[in-house]
Structure 1
Amino acid sequence: MAQHSGTPTKVVQAMEHLTLDDRRTYLTDGIAESRCIPPQEFVDNLLPKANARTLKKTQTYLESHSVWKHFKANPPHKSAVDEDRTFKPFTTLVNDVVAHYAKAASVKATVTACCEPSKTPGGGALHDTRPDGVLLLGLPPQPLHWDNIPLTFEFKKHLTKPHWEENVKKMLWNMTHVMANDCCRRHTFGITIENLHMRLWFCDRSGFVISDSFDFIKSPSLVAQIFASLGTASSEQLGYDPTMTRVYVDGEEQFDIEVHSETGTRTFRTVYQLSNTGADRVRSRATRVWVVYEKCNPSKLLVLKDVWIEDDRTREGTIYEEVLEAIGPEDMDRAKAHFLTIICHGDVMLKKPGGHQMADNTKDSIRGGYVIPQSDSQAFPKLWRKFASAPLTTHAVTTEIGSIPELSPAIIGDLDTGKFYSRTHYRIVFGEVGIPVKDVTRMDQVLRALEGAANGLDILDKHDFIHRDVSVTNILLVDGVGKISDFEFVHKTRLGAIGSAEVKLDGHPGRTGTRHFMASELRYNRYIYRSRRFKAIRWVFKQNTMHDAEALWWVLIWILAWKCPKGDHPQDDVDNASKGSKDLRRYALIMELFPPADHYNTVDKRHTFFDDPAEFEGRVACLQPDYEKLVSLAGDLRDGLCEYYDREQAWTAEAGPDEQVFKGIYGGMVVPKLRSALEENDVGELRTIKTETK
């Protein structure tokens, strides 16, 4: 299988004031590269199998149905009534055909078609999203709720480009909304119709699959197969996760989640969600993290991570095990102090007919091994190029100012562009519940968290590993001790990869990280500090321990910029404050160093801030007087990092990049400086700076 290089570095930043229409429009950006497949191929590979013999009878029934005859004689574009009334009979046709097929095939109908476009489905949507029609899970009466909708319809009376574009926008929004907000979904379906032209839609965590448009009146056999397949499918076939059960505890929605490991199956119940990184993207890992307890031991709180990982990537639990094995007994106690504890982990396993199990995987268990043939694809017409984005999750976890959009690329990558990366559903449970450093409310605790993370990074560096994603969300404070978490991108360094065949962390070696904390060399994708004598030599750039250390420094700067001592009150109105306003100047610094994804490129300004002592001193002048010692710490760490970077000057043309010169940066410089700052710290409780008008 083709490999790809680490976590994408492009990030979606929420734009709070976009209209729903603007947000839907954004979802169509990039669809020019999306590929379509023949409708029969779509049905044969992505829908459940229907009884072929019974389908012939169902087709006969379909063609004799009064609604079918009406559409055939009076196409929607000739209708004198609005779209709602024009297409409402279509759902009657669906229900009648499903009922006929179910009776003839001696199976149960499992869904009900419904057309109530004036009603907003329940489920706490950010906007009043109202699909034109839906399939509801179960027989009537069923509540109109997003949790019960495995398929949405969008109807237009006319086949024109504007009408088609509107349907595309709404369908992409509907499907992305479902995948973002219902953690029980593995995939979902959609159908768009313009006049008599139907198109089939599907998406899972590997992206969208879209059929060519076809005249449904001229394709009764295909339509009968579509209705019969969807109308009698199991909840699992319709996209629901059989290993996750929705329950209600004191009126609050929770989930019972199975974790399958080598030692067996264990069930955990959620208490609250910690994060949902990237869930508003379809084609993504869709990482969700909960505080949970094992049902057999409710008193012990744990953390469960649910993720759709690339098939060929080493599982996070395995990485932990391999790192600990490489560390050996000399650093084991320190590793246990500054790493998380694995309780259990494994791929999600599904029970299949015959009693066997298979991993929940987008290629095999969901798509049945189907991959779009490149020779049989064609592109959609080019639509808009409008730069905007939106969060789609209703259960937003990090909505405060300064929240990090993590590793969430734009949705344009969700549309199938010819590259298919299969993903496997994976879960891991940790023994500790920590507080991300971005949420820590005392400066002494912030410094403890950073010192602990530096100790963890020191262990990795000592044994030739790099973390590759140091950020404010994976540095944790657990019972007063700092820990570095999220080992899913941990990799051997250039040094460690030599002669270390026993350690299997050799896939996905590309640049990785959370954009706001990425080192300048990573952003430029080259060695910046090497001797000019070797400028003409093209050394292959590799991520190394210096980039982890610089990311830790950027975490400190992020905290100093976003957080103030609690007693230092902000201006009441930032927008109208004087130019000397502390918060206003700090916010300007934030916009330069940690801008939204749609902001102008500030890589050069970030590098100058880090590399130029005078620029650094001038820009940090806006920080509070109470931060004098901490600004001094940041300056000392910056000086130390630059001294280590300057060791690139010693590299030679013959030997090339020698990462050995960076060894010991944490124990020799970072950890002692953080420990000294902790001892001298005189800042107490913190607040987030004010950036909004009242």
Structure 2
Amino acid sequence: MTRISTPPPGVPVTPDTLPQPKQTSLAGYHSGDLALGRTAVPNGLGAIPQVPLEYFKSAALPPLRKQIDIGKIKTSLEGAEAWSRHSGWTAIKEPKLSGVSEEETLEPLSKVFDAVVCEAAKDLHTPATLRFVSRPTQSPHSDLPDSSLPDAYLLLLEKKSVDIPGAKKNSAKNSDHDSWYDIAVSFEFKKSDGTAERKYVIWGLHHIMRSDPCRRAAFGVTIENTEMRFWFTCRAVTLVSKSFNFFSEPEHLIHFFCALVFAENHELGWDPTIRRVCVEDETQYIITVETEDGRTIEYQTTKVISDFGVDGVSGRGTRIFKVHLRSRDGKLDAEPVVLKDSWRESDRDREDKILEQIFDDLRKLGTEVEQEARQYFLTVVEAGDVTVHGMIDGTTSLLHGSDLPADCASYALSVDGILKAKPTRSSEGLAQSLPSVPGATKHSKIQHRIHFRLVFKEVCTPIHELQHLGTAFQTLQDVLKGLLTLQLLHSVGWVHRDVSTGNALRAGEVGKLADLEYAKRMNSKASNEVCTGTLDFMACEVEAQKYLFEPPKVLSVADFFKDNKDKDKFPYKFNPLHDMESLWWIATWILYRHVDKVGHQQSEAQRKWFDELFPGRFNARFSAFSADVDYEVLPTSFQPAAFTVVSAMRQALKIAYIASENSMPPAYTDALAELQRVFTSHLADGVKHSKHVELHTPGVKRSYQEDPMFESRDNKHLKVRSFLRSLPKC
């Protein structure tokens, strides 16, 4: 096997980016408590760009129709006594002086909306697409549980939602039930001056983007007495405009209404390449994939496999569906496939392109090596970037090619309450991904994203859903055995950088490694602003962003300064040992998370060790890795495998790190080769010791059986969707 070349001395190394946790991966957000969710979302954003009104109008809003003259409309409204330059909007009293409730004070905003639209329509032949609705005591319908009550919203006249039998109806007289899936703009009002409404409007934006696969962007408005702000979010950024007095400066509100009301649906943030349908009383989606050779193919969903990726307001927004090919006459192909819908950073290659680069590198080792390798990766059936109205769908087009203005300030989203930084321990035993985002920085550039779709042949089972310990270890063993996935990546100089339970899959009798979007060549000098990691399975050095196993040195003063210069020359860099450590964390997580009998709970000691090893916060990985782990707290049937996997494999990792970091940059080639041999041997022992050992999530009853050793897609029931639908997502 070809070995990896350690970067030679003297070659500058680009350090990787320090990751930080997303608040929407923490327990408070997933508790179902609306107040905690409304705290988590703005806390996760931290601070967002506050942009001038003119920038917001040109970048975030749809362009005005040519016939619309804002100055003329303002003059006409003044002539019709709808607005006065002395007292503002005649239909609305200054909120904090009105003497009535917020609902009564701001309900007449609908009259302002109607007056503006009526004047604008006089010179247009384009019908309005939105209407103003104010039902502040009623919660719009959503497939996800959500009891939030927006004060008002702009609603599509031709709705995108579908009627689902049994869905909650709106109690307003003579009205159909409103749906979040038809809301283009959500409004939040407050009579007094202040900032309390920001978390409510952000929650509304967040709920639209997390719950609706048909949305690419969303808008919001906050009103605090006479001050108004506009809001916009997409997968790359959330923006807020500077405030203005909508009584004395009506032109901004007139522009806002006119830009949106006469816009096409795709300009309002909807995706024309995916549509919602009702199938057997359930919501499903028909999704179009456009390939690079110009073919358009339709797939219809039958299940949501995963949508944890939409929990963040911005980011990849990954959704994974089980789908069937749909013919022109609406018939579905019998064989299921998997469709991935996601938004990659614009400076990254699409995942299928990365796969081909890996295979090209493997081909240099021989065609047999390449063919052997292909069975350990997912098979891409179709791939392509999404196009909307002839343009690549990305945040660049949503923002009309604009970057942030040079004088862009940050708008702090301070909210009450701080969430405890600990991932959810779900009742289904899912490994909660804790994606990472860059720390707070000055807002000077938008990291734009491109919308893409991939279709994979294999319908796999993530390792965290396997139901026998032997099968789980065998899956990890497959990842290492011979020229399997990670070894093949490393042998041609690649690292994965996000090995987790969601990316270690089983298809029939073969282990596969998925989600290669963040894989890169070791000699790559590219550095991205955004990096990712799953905290429970992140290597210690990845979390710390420094090397932790260098031998202690006794240095003179001169040597001390020379040593520090060497560290500057060779900063921390991800290497293959970090991927290997992630495998150890997965194996350890499986053992300490589960029990071996239906309905049983973890012992207090096992639960304590699980929380010690996986505390769900940063700056805790190295101490957890270094601790003498007690495997005797595990169920008796787990212990033989645990001794081999938890204790022996961890010791081998330590030895590999120490050996590789005897020199800088780390010389990991020989250490990695030995570590791969040790891991393969110990995982084989783990399989041998746990062939008939079952895996059960504490307290959860299993309603079906599976093969003791090998699971196939034909008999594996995907149970994640029912759990996901019970959680709030963004």
Q: Same fold (TM over 0.5)?
A: yes
2:356 is matched with 321
- Residue 630 of structure 1 aligns with an amino acid whose one-letter code is A
Deviation sequence 1:440-498 (CA, Å, 0-9, x none): 0112211221112223112112222111111111111111211111111111225xx5x
1:457 is matched with 486
Equivalent of 1:623, from 629, 634, 655? 634
1:367 is matched with 399
Q: Structure 2: how far apart are the matches of 1:295 and 1:6? A: 42
1:338 is matched with 376
1:145 is matched with 179
Contact 1:34 1:416 survives alignment (8 Å): no
Quickly say closer, same or farther: Cα 1:334–1:526, change in 2 above 3 A. same
2:626 is matched with 608
2:276 is matched with 246
Contact 2:289 2:386 survives alignment (8 Å): yes
- Residue 62 of structure 2 aligns with an amino acid whose one-letter code is P
Matches within 5 A, 1:444-483: 444-454=470-480, 455-483=484-512
2:139 is matched with 120
2:709 is matched with none
Deviation sequence 1:292-326 (CA, Å, 0-9, x none): 11113521211111111110012111011111111
Q: CA deviation at 1:650?
A: 4.8
Q: Does 1:13 align with 2:26?
A: yes
Contact 1:256 1:268 survives alignment (8 Å): yes
Tell me, what secondary structure is at the counterpart of 1:105? Answer: coil
Tell me, what secondary structure is at the counterpart of 1:677? Answer: helix
Equivalent of 1:35, from 43, 49, 59? 49
Equivalent of 1:104, from 123, 134, 138? 123
2:6 is matched with none
Q: CA deviation at 1:382?
A: 7.3
Q: Structure 1: how far apart are the matches of 2:468 and 2:285? A: 33
Quickly say closer, same or farther: Cα 1:541–1:464, change in 2 above 3 A. same
- Residue 50 of structure 1 aligns with an amino acid whose one-letter code is L
Matches within 5 A, 1:607-686: 607-609=625-627, 615-616=628-629, 619-634=630-645, 635-648=647-660, 650-651=662-663, 656-665=665-674, 667-686=676-695
CA RMSD of aligned residues (A): 3.0
Tell me, what secondary structure is at the counterpart of 2:604? Answer: helix
1:192 is matched with 222
2:112 is matched with 93
Aligned residues: 641
Q: Tell me the TM-score normalised to structure 1 length.
A: 0.85
Q: Structure 1: how far apart are the matches of 2:333 and 2:361? A: 34
Query: Hey, which of these two has a bigger chunk of helix by percent?
Result: 1
Equivalent of 1:531, from 535, 546, 551? 551
Tell me, what secondary structure is at the counterpart of 1:101? Answer: helix
Quickly say closer, same or farther: Cα 1:648–1:107, change in 2 above 3 A. same
- Residue 359 of structure 1 aligns with an amino acid whose one-letter code is I
Q: Structure 2: how far apart are the matches of 1:86 and 1:207? A: 32
Q: CA deviation at 1:221?
A: 2.9
- Residue 26 of structure 2 aligns with an amino acid whose one-letter code is Q
Contact 2:656 2:672 survives alignment (8 Å): no
Equivalent of 2:516, from 465, 484, 487? 487
Equivalent of 2:189, from 148, 155, 163? 155
Matches within 5 A, 1:55-74: 55=69, 56-65=71-80, 68=83, 72=89, 74=93
Quickly say closer, same or farther: Cα 1:119–1:688, change in 2 above 3 A. same
1:386 is matched with 417
Quickly say closer, same or farther: Cα 1:239–1:65, change in 2 above 3 A. farther
1:578 is matched with none
Tell me, what secondary structure is at the counterpart of 1:241? Answer: coil
Equivalent of 2:290, from 260, 265, 268? 260
Equivalent of 1:403, from 404, 418, 430? 430
Quickly say closer, same or farther: Cα 1:270–1:436, change in 2 above 3 A. same
Q: Structure 1: how far apart are the matches of 2:46 and 2:477? A: 48
Q: CA deviation at 1:544?
A: 1.1
1:288 is matched with 319
Contact 1:313 1:507 survives alignment (8 Å): no
Quickly say closer, same or farther: Cα 1:607–1:448, change in 2 above 3 A. closer
1:48 is matched with 62
Deviation sequence 1:237-287 (CA, Å, 0-9, x none): 110011111111112111111222222222211111111133121221111
- Residue 605 of structure 2 aligns with an amino acid whose one-letter code is R
2:171 is matched with none
Quickly say closer, same or farther: Cα 1:126–1:411, change in 2 above 3 A. farther
2:714 is matched with none
Contiguous gaps of at least 5 residues in structure 1: 352-356, 498-504, 572-581, 610-614
Runs of 4+ off more than 6 Å: 410-413
Tell me, what secondary structure is at the counterpart of 2:302? Answer: strand
Q: CA deviation at 1:506?
A: 4.6
Q: Structure 2: how far apart are the matches of 1:381 and 1:326? A: 46
Q: CA deviation at 1:594?
A: 1.0
Q: Structure 1: how far apart are the matches of 2:323 and 2:47? A: 41
Q: Structure 2: how far apart are the matches of 1:629 and 1:209? A: 54
Equivalent of 1:269, from 296, 300, 310? 300
Matched-pair identity in %: 28
Quickly say closer, same or farther: Cα 1:320–1:6, change in 2 above 3 A. farther
Q: Tell me the TM-score normalised to structure 2 length.
A: 0.81
2:149 is matched with 130
Contact 1:457 1:666 survives alignment (8 Å): no
Q: Structure 1: how far apart are the matches of 2:18 and 2:219? A: 27
1:576 is matched with none
Quickly say closer, same or farther: Cα 1:341–1:6, change in 2 above 3 A. farther
Contact 2:73 2:116 survives alignment (8 Å): yes
Q: Structure 2: how far apart are the matches of 1:344 and 1:7? A: 34
Contact 2:15 2:572 survives alignment (8 Å): no
Equivalent of 1:236, from 242, 266, 270? 266
Quickly say closer, same or farther: Cα 1:385–1:197, change in 2 above 3 A. closer
Q: CA deviation at 1:200?
A: 0.9
Tell me, what secondary structure is at the counterpart of 2:650? Answer: helix
Q: Structure 1: how far apart are the matches of 2:439 and 2:140? A: 26
Contiguous gaps of at least 5 residues in structure 2: 1-13, 160-174, 702-730
The higher-RCO structure (CA 8 Å, 6+ apart) is: 2
1:216 is matched with 246
